Structures are given as C-alpha cells and as structure tokens.
Amino acid sequence: AQTVTQSQPEMSVQEAETVTLSCTYDTSESNYYLFWYKQPPSRQMILVIRQEAYKQQNATENRFSVNFQKAAKSFSLKISDSQLGDTAMYFCAFMKPSDLGDDKIIFGKGTRLHILP
Amino acid sequence: NAGVMQNPRHLVRRRGQEARLRCSPMKGHSHVYWYRQLPEEGLKFMVYLQKENIIDESGMPKERFSAEFPKEGPSILRIQQVVRGDSAAYFCASSPFAAALGTQYFGPGTRLLVL
C-alpha cells in the first residue's frame, strides 16, 4: 500500500523568505502522480502543483516549485518570496492512475505553515 | 464554468439522526470521489462513483454509510444514526474521466458536527 509522510507538523517563516516543505512517499509503482494541496483557513482544497513521475523535470508554478527525487521517493515543495496569503495547511499527496478508474488520492497528514509579518 | 458544489456547507446533527451530504460535480464530469478529513488530519478516501455505479468503496465504513450517484442529480453521501466520531469535514471531488491526468477538482467541503 502507498503511504505519504510529512515529517514537519508545523513551520514558521518570515514574509519574503524561502521555505521548503518535506514529503516522502512509499510505492512500488513506476507511474504515478504527486501533488501539493493548500488548505487555507477557509478549508477549501486548492491544488498548488502537480508532478508526473515519468517527467524528470521538476514542476514549477510561479513562486512554487518542487524537488522531485524519484529514486529517493522524495517530493519537497519550495515556496519562494513567501507571502502572508501562503499561510495554510499544506498536504502532500500521491495518486496511482488505474485503468480501472480506481485513482484515489492518498494524502499526508499535512504541514501547517505560518508566514510571519 | 461552476466548480464542484457541495451543500450544505455546515451541518449539525444530534446523535442517532441521519446526515445527507450533496455533491454536484463540475459540468461534464461523471466521476465523483468522497474524502473525509478528521480534525488535524489529512483527507482520507472513502468512495469513488461513476454515474449509477459504485466503483470503489474500500474507504467507507461498512455500516451506516452509503453513497450514490444517480443518473440525474447530485451525488449523495448518507450517514445513518450519526455518532460523535462522524464529526469531520467531508470533501467531494470530481474528474471528467478516470485517471484524468491526475486532476480531481475539490468542492468546498461540508463540515458535519454531531452533538
């Protein structure tokens, strides 16, 4: 069974700093997707970034980028020039696409990120 | 294009009552997923449905919980005889087709509080 581990329950950084959130996962699959979701106080689940395992290039979305190390099964999220609006819970997640359609997402327990003014 | 809609956003029930949670997927999406988030936890998969079919219910408790996605209308997650441990946020997600490039679009969730 696949598992996702986020070892940092909570982090705080000053506004404008760069912060890295860690995530490791366990799977025997070769083809899968990895995600970072943001959950602000409104508790809406917002997709931040997505990585396909077959792509070697790390995904980037504006100030958000990932460091995907497939062999190490590591998928960290880097937030550059952090902003107050980045304060949220961040979930790392894994999905193995299935021809049967059984593509459920498996989430880590989350990292609570505080951006300090 | 409206996103995934869930209602009610907040639901309060007393122990023993029934809770019905509704999810309207995005237009054109025929795949619906339900997840539950307990306090201070990540989301956990409950059930995956296509129109009129339950594809995978491996994450759903065997008793008191049921889900449907009829040909017409929203998907319904039904919890009978609720207990305090059912208090959680319930999220629905939809996708246009299976393994749709890994993209599931989430609704805003329903917060269920059992008194």
Long-range contacts of A46-54 (CB under 8 A, 24+ apart): A46/B106, A47/B103, A47/B106, A48/A77, A48/A90, A49/A77, A50/B102, A50/B103, A51/A75, A52/B102, A53/A29, A54/A30
- The predicted model gives B34-46 an average pLDDT of 91
With CB atoms and an 8 Å threshold, state whether A43 touches B42: no
User: In chain A, what's the furthest Cα-to-Cα distance?
Assistant: 48
Instruction: Output DSSP code: residue B76.
Output: E
Q: What is the DSSP string of B11-38?
A: EEE-TT--EEEEEEPPTT--EEEEEEE-
Distance from CA of B16 to the nearest CA of A (A): 27
Can you give the pLDDT at residue A104? Answer: 84
pLDDT at B76 over 70: yes
8 Å CB contact of B43 and A52: no
Give A47-104 pLDDT, tens digit per residue.
999 999 998 899 999 999 999 999 999 999 999 999 999 999 999 999 987 766 667 8
Residue from A54, A92, A104, A106 whose CB has the most chain B CBs within 10 Å, to mutate:
A104
What is the total residue count of chain B? 115
How far B99 CA lies from chain A's nearest CA (Å)? Answer: 5
Answer whether A44 sits within 8 Å of B104, measured CB to CB.
no
Considering only CB atoms, which chain A residues are within 8 Å of B96? none
- Which pLDDT band, with edges at 50, 70 and 90, does A36 fall under? very high
The helix/strand/coil state of A95 is: strand
For the cut 80, the answer to whether the pLDDT of residue B2 exceeds it is: no
**Nearest CB to B91 within list A45, A103, A108:** A45
DSSP state letter for B39: T
Closest to B45 measured CA to CA, from B84, B91, B101, B110? B91
Cβ within 8 Å, pair B99-A98? yes
Q: What is the mean pLDDT of residues A1-11?
A: 92
Say if the Cβ atoms of B109 and A43 lie within 8 Å. Answer: yes
Under 8 Å CB-to-CB from A71, ≥6 apart: which residues? none
Cα nearest neighbour of A40 on chain B: B108
Selection from A82, A108, A101 nearest residue A12 by Cα: A82
Q: Which of A37, A104, A108 sits opposite B33 (nearest CB)?
A: A104
Contacts of A102 in chain B (CB under 8 A): 48, 55-56
Residue B77: which pLDDT band, with cuts at 50, 70 and 90? very high
Query: B39 versus A36: which is more confidently predicted?
Result: A36
**For residues A39 and A107, is the Cβ–Cβ distance under 8 A?**
no
- For B41, which residue in chain A has the nearest alpha carbon? A109
Alpha carbon A16 to its chain centroid, in Å, reads 20
